Structure 1
Amino acid sequence: MAAVQPKHFSFYSIGLSYRKADAEMRGLFSLNEEAIDALLQEAKEEGIPSLAVISTCNRTELYGFAEHPYQLIRLLCEHSQGTVEEFQKIAYIQKNDDACQHLYTVGTGLDSQILGDFEIIGQLKMAFKRSKKLNLINTYMERLLNCVIQASKRIKTETELSSGATSVSFASAQYILENYPASGPSKNILLFGTGKIGRNTCENLVKHTVNKQITLINRTKQKAEVIAGKFDLVVKDFAELEEEIANSDIIIVATGAQKPTISKQVIHTSKPLLILDLSIPKNVDDNVKELDNVTLIHLDELSKITHKTLSNRENFIPQAREIIATIHADFKLWIESRQFAPTMHALKTKLSTLKDAEIKNSRTKFDDFNHEQADVLADRIIQKIAGHFANHLRNEDESTEEAINLLNKVFKLEELSN
């Protein structure tokens, strides 16, 4: 049985997030679908044994095995607009158990910009699924993700970490509610972009605000029509964007474009206009701030505004971490079992060889020698001896690796693999 971790490779998580990288810098390192596919393909060609990539509005991260983290950093920089120098200023690198812990905190919403946001676990599932199709997920990473999913489910059901608002899309609806109360006049809302964030935002607007004058525009009109049909909303052509901006009181921008799609040049209205930019990279040019009637809020600001209303969630962080610790302890036990499984197999083989030799020798030495009884008795003894050694490997204070090396030396197990 092969070792769970490739020889000379370590498990790393490398990347950047909202914690140290602002929206502009996150935009430089963001990866679209094509870039992720190209990155994974190159990693496979270079012999990276296991790798998954996520790129969201709040973070871009690579989880995988490498001989050195620079292999992963180079892949990220080659397939994004960021440089190694910029990465070193704002990024983080975790190795082995620290990398595992980071994946837990990300996958359970503990590291989300809005604490308790569970949308990220779905994004992780999709990232691992994409890599698995390329045979780029090994047993270690698959097992680890399953543990993260298990932790996420338990935290969601056993704590109130995810109570109330759970996403930037909800936060946008909350912001509109707070600044445009139901008692006031209805506002015309334009949603530009119908990707995942756009869809979720649309749903939250319908559920939580009284504003029913919502218009959708997407470069691909058919996609907008599917969403509009679900909520009975209006769809306009992309060519009508400037006209609809002039008719709107609120614009929510949630496109996947790599460059700004809204600038002051397309705004032809003097009435107050609120623009919420939920895109990474930014899809609204900062020059709109030059217009006195425009208020621009980016998702980073939106998250800060909303986060103050979620302070109660922090009370459940210790409980969430206890759940993670319990699940991760089982994962570490599984790793250790996988690590010493080849040694235990070799030990049983060595003891069985000694058994066969002794039984063969005893046939000629003892009258009425019962071969079958001796064979059964010896096998039971071998199982008990192996069980004692297995318990030793699991419970010994010294490292499993040192204990394995001692077994190999005492029983000359390395000779079996030569």
Structure 2
Amino acid sequence: MTFFALGVNHHTASVELRERVAFNAERLGDLLLQQAQQSDLNDLVVVSTCNRTEIYANAENHDVLLHWLANTNGIDIHHLMNHVYRYENIQAVSHLMRVASGLDSLMLGEPQILGQVKTALSLAKEKGTVSTALGRIFDYAFYAAKRVRSETAVGSHAVSMGYSVAQLALQVFSHPEKLVVMVVAAGEMNSLVAKHMADLGVAKILICNRGAERAQQLASEISAHVDVEIIPFNALADHLHRADVISSCTGSLHQVIEFKPIKKALKQRRYQQMLLVDLAVPRDIDPEVDSLDGVYLYGVDDLQSVIEDNLAQRRQAAVEAEIMVNQLATQLVSQQKIKRAGGVVAAYRDSGHHLQQQELALALAQLEQGENPAEVMQNFAHRLTNKLLHPTSLLLREAAKEDEPEYFDWLKENLQEILVNGRAAKKNKH
């Protein structure tokens, strides 16, 4: 069996194709349950996210993976072949490690993918499609991801607007647990801001949105982690003084947070500092508020500059992470080879021990018959040595016949090294 990785991702396939090969958890669970009963492909894990669908499997060949992916999604296999990538053994292990570490993500170093890979493994285990060997590969990939996270700076710099706002708040305020945060508009951008702020453990999040339904939806998504209050959009100015941090992203053609209301809010707050983040284009917040003492105003361009700098640092750190992943992948594959060789080594040693007992029994019988002890021992040593060396001699002769001289040279050099080391060890012992 060979370990394969096969799939499509944001590098190789359009959104349309990625949508066609994507699996939801329920459908994938049913398919894995069926696959557990098959003989050609029953040791696999499928990772399916918005940016990738990948199969990791121990199988006879990668064709069976390709046919399975095409057939389960009703896609012409010849079309799919133009977009899939295939890796095997050490390259497949390395790819899995890169994916789990966030090195292959659309957003370099993003942490969510590790949880998604772990979820995929759990589902496959639940449905019975994970052998001990495959599970060990994934465990080692998670170990690699942890090493990348803890020993490199790949994931330590903010590279999304939402996360950047949260990190900015930590720079301005020393006690996040006391903060009241207001998000003006509950779209995708501010939803991420709210979720990152909730993760910081802020005291409260105020949601101000034109539509109540979307505000309620966001509130339900974060209310388990933080106290949430929904305020009417037409009452925005009345609640500005309550917020330490305001993130606005309405998409309005006009400014929704003006200079005078912020000046009034500052006075109501007794001039305690405020952090205002304007994620909208056109801008939501009057840029003149930046002139007020105690107000920190950041716009999209400010944050984008920070993100670009941080992304550059991530790319630099990724070089170190790639080296680490390659080393760990090589280490795992070497361990697997040694483990597989263990059975062969044990059988070889058993064979040698059996020959030893045969020759020893013959020598003892000759001694009992009164034969010359010196001749008996000399014959014993001669026969045993010949029988033990016969497999190695045969292997060398067969290697010399092959068309690839490198194999014979490798055997010869390693045998010579073993003999030299053996003589040196014997000499040191005496």
C-alpha separation between the residues in 2 aligned to 1:398 and 1:43? 42
Matched, 1:38 2:30: yes
Q: Which has the higher helix share?
A: 2
Instruction: Say yes or no: does 1:190 pair with 2:190.
Output: no
Query: Which secondary structure state, in structure 2, belongs to the residue aligned with residue 120 of structure 1?
Result: helix
CA contact (8 A) 1:199 1:227 kept: no
Partner of 2:353: 352
Q: Which residue of structure 2 lines up, in the alignment, with residue 233 of structure 1?
A: 228
User: Residue in 2 aligned with 1:290?
Assistant: none
SS at match of 2:12: coil
**Structure 1: gaps spanning 5 or more residues:** 1-5, 237-248, 252-268, 274-292, 294-301, 404-418
Instruction: Give the Cα separation in 2 of the matches to 1:366 and 1:199.
Output: 91
The superposition leaves residues 131-183 of structure 1 with CA deviations (integer Å, 9 ceiling, x where unpaired) of 223332234322222222222112211111111226xxx544548999xxx9x
Q: CA deviation at 1:21?
A: 2.4
User: In structure 1, what residue type is equivalent to 2:73?
Assistant: S
Q: Could you tell me how far 1:24 is from its partner in structure 2?
A: 3.1
User: Unaligned 5+ residue runs, structure 2?
Assistant: 173-180, 232-247, 256-281, 283-302, 371-376, 396-404, 412-430
> Is 1:134 paired with 2:127?
yes
Mapped partners of 1:18, 1:202: distance in 2: 27
* Conserved 8 A contact 1:16-1:59: yes
Name the structure 2 match of 1:364.
365
Q: Pick closer, same or farther for the CA change 1:77–1:162 going to 2, 3 Å.
A: same
Separation (CA, whole Å) in 1 of partners of 2:44 and 2:328: 22
SS in 2 for 1:212: strand
Task: Tell me: CA distance 1:132–1:211, structure 2 relative to 1, closer, same or farther (3 Å).
Answer: closer
> Counterpart of 1:84?
77
CA distance in 2 between counterparts of 1:225 and 1:97 reads 44
* 2:400 paired residue number: none
Kept in 2: contact 1:160–1:316 (CA 8 A): yes
CA RMSD of aligned residues (A): 4.9
Secondary structure of 1:31's counterpart equals coil
**What amino acid is the match of 1:231?**
V
In structure 1, what is the equivalent of residue 11 of structure 2?
19
CA contact (8 A) 2:93 2:141 kept: no
Q: Offset of 1:226 from its aligned partner?
A: 7.3
Between the aligned partners of 1:145 and 1:90, the Cα distance in structure 2 is 25
Structure 2 Cα separation of the partners of residues 250 and 336 of structure 1: 55
Percent identity between matched residues is: 21
Q: 1:36 to 1:150 in 2, by over 3 A?
A: same
- 3-state SS of the aligned residue for 2:6? strand
Structure 2: how far apart are the matches of 1:157 and 1:311?
19
Aligned with 2:206 (options 208, 212, 223): 212
| Number of matched pairs | 311
Name the TM-score, length of structure 1 as normaliser.
0.60
Alignment of 1:86-235 (within 5 A): 86-165=79-158, 170-172=160-162, 174=164, 187-190=183-186, 202-206=194-198, 212-213=206-207, 225=220, 227-233=222-228
C-alpha displacement of 1:361: 2.2
TM-superposed deviation, 1:272: 7.5
Larger radius of gyration: 2
Comparing both chains, which one has the higher relative contact order based on Cα–Cα distances under 8 Å and sequence gaps of 6 or more? 1
Q: SS at 2:53's partner residue?
A: strand
CA distance in 2 between counterparts of 1:136 and 1:399 reads: 38
